[in-house]
Amino acid sequence: MKDSTKKFFTAFYRFSGKRIFVLFFIVLFNSGLESLSVLLLIPFFHITKVMPDMPGINIPLMNYFHSEKYGLITVLLLFLIVSVIQEYIKKYITVTIVSVKAGFVRMLSDQLYESFAMAKWQAILSRRKSDIANALTNELKLIDIGTTTLLQFSTSVPLILVQLIVCFFISPYGTLCAVMAGIMFFLFLRPVNRKLGNIAETLNTLLKDSLSDASEHLNGIKEVKSYGAEQVHIDRFSSKNHETEKKYIQFVELFSRSNFIYNSGTFFLMALFVFMSLTVFSESLTKLIILFVIFIRIWPLFSGFQMTLQFFLMMFPAWESFLSVTEEFKSQREEYKIEADIKHVVLNKGIELKGLSFSYDKGEKKALTDINLTIPVNSNIAITGHSGSGKSTLIDILTGLLEPLEGEILIDGTPLKGENLYAWRRSIGFVPQETFLFHGTVRENLLWARPSATEEEIWHALELSASDFIKKFPAGLDTPLGDRGTGLSGGERQRIALARAILRNPSLLILDEATSSLDVENESKIFRAIEKLKGKITMITIAHRISTIKNADEIIFLDSGSIIERGNFDELQKKGGKFADLVKEDSFRRSSEK
């Protein structure tokens, strides 16, 4: 906890810099004005004859105003000037606090999002997506509240110190007694604060799990409804919410109990303070009134310290979780620089995979073992095999998402490493099984892949894959696609995704099960589009459907992470091996579908 607390204050100081010191001195000056406005009661009481004599009061500056020649108007005018200056400074302090806090929270948000976006693919796979969403929403909100409370209390510290110094000069013993009482209350409430911290930690975990359950339900809503499993998810979500509710109420009960003890104790201390001042310390009524006015002003600030601590304890589990996610992704940052003028990799010879092996966990079985493969430029290579054979892993390594455990990838003879990884990815067109389309127009979804593309280039890419149905839209390229392209059929979404990949003018086009969920008609349209590209671009196609890969220059059959068969379609058919069995399975499946 100490280490995390130190990191919080270190991060905050690095962001705020000199502004926090400037703010401190401004608050200190304002605290002096606050004390001056209280001390102006002394000449006011004297001039107005409320207390013509001021026994025990010996403050040189205030004695200077005892003379009636300055009069009531002078004192009131001075009070007015001091009050106006105070209010202006308070306005400045409020705006500065909000500015610093908002900037700090924005910086944390940017850091997390950047660390996530720039992390290695394997690190991203190891984390639930809902954890990232929770960190960017719930946890940042708690950090926002905690930072605000902390800053607000920090600005009251100089006021407390200045006012206590004034009180000490007026009544040393009374001031010491009040301070000791405040410390005793704080120590008395320490066990309650520890319990609040534990409950806050549990609450943060419950909120994170609830968001995870909700995200999973939303992502799989079609399957959930298809299986009639709504009630299972409703019960699970409701159970987590009920548990969160109980913990939240428990937190509020403890929070309220500590405030009740603190506030009740305040009334007791005020009564005791008056009694002790008049009977034990024999303070004058004048001193007592001044001290009472000051303590009424600063005692809520003592109470604010207790409240600030509780808010900080509530924030702290969120901060630790947020910090953990951010630091984990930062430690797994990919080793390349994003440059605006990065050069496009033009493939002249081809891609070579030498002795590639990979394992998701060094202690587990290898996902790929000793892969040796040459992909000539402008060739069409197909990779197939049963589920779990290593196809997707091989593609993730080819795109540089995963680093091989052994072996290397050569692009025109140059090893694919950190320094040229970004350039390589910028030169790849990728069409996955699950198409990524965002809520925007056709044009916006296409330009996402290549913002500088001209109208002519956009239509050229569409002519190869999707121009027939785009031209039928009333708004053409400016037609909104809806959330994730829900306004389109599955085949239309895939054809737009293919056009987007082509628009990049890629050196390598990867089709990862791009037709597996399409009907025969849409599959044939995608297939015809691919045929137009044959010999013009280097393509790698991953597919179970034999019709998609039948015309490939070479077919690679993977099994348990190893290449066990390779050759063109006719060659592999003649061998009568596992690929031939896959052809029979595919043929049987298609005949069954008919």
* pLDDT tens per residue, range 234-257: 777 777 777 777 777 777 777 777
* CB atoms inside a 10 Å sphere around CB 541: 24
Helices (H), 118-229: 121-125, 129-134, 140-170, 172-188, 190-219, 221-226
pLDDT reported for residue 216: 64
Residue bearing tokens 């033009």: 346
The Cα–Cα gap between 401 and 403 comes to: 7
pLDDT by residue (tens digit) across 554-563?
999 988 889 9
pLDDT reported for residue 82: 81
pLDDT reported for residue 1: 60
pLDDT by residue (tens digit) across 394-443?
988 888 888 888 888 999 988 888 778 888 888 888 888 777 787 788 88
Is the pLDDT confidence value at 207 over 80?
no
Higher per-residue pLDDT: 143 or 293: 143
Most confident of 170-174, 449-453, 512-516: 449-453
Backbone angles phi, psi at 220, to 5 degrees: -110, 25
Is the pLDDT confidence value at 451 over 60?
yes
What is the Cα Rg of the chain in Å? 36
Exposed / middle / buried, residue 487 (Cβ in 10 Å: 0-12, 13-18, 19+): middle
**107, two tokens:** 């910086």
Q: Tell me which residue of 207, 521, 564 sits closest to 372, measured CA to CA.
A: 564
**Three-class SS of residue 380?**
strand
For the chain, percent of residues with pLDDT exceeding 70: 71
Which element (helix H / strand E) includes 368?
strand 368-376
Q: Is the distance from CB of 377 to CB of 536 less than 8 angstroms?
A: no
Give the lowest-confidence range in 150-164, 205-219, 402-416, 427-441: 205-219
Averaged pLDDT, 185-192: 70
pLDDT reported for residue 39: 66
Averaged pLDDT, 274-282: 64
Q: What is this structure's pTM?
A: 0.69
Which element (helix H / strand E) includes 114?
helix 71-117
Is the pLDDT confidence value at 565 over 80?
yes
Is the pLDDT confidence value at 572 over 80?
yes
Give the lowest-confidence range in 248-257, 451-460, 490-499: 248-257
Higher per-residue pLDDT: 180 or 134: 134
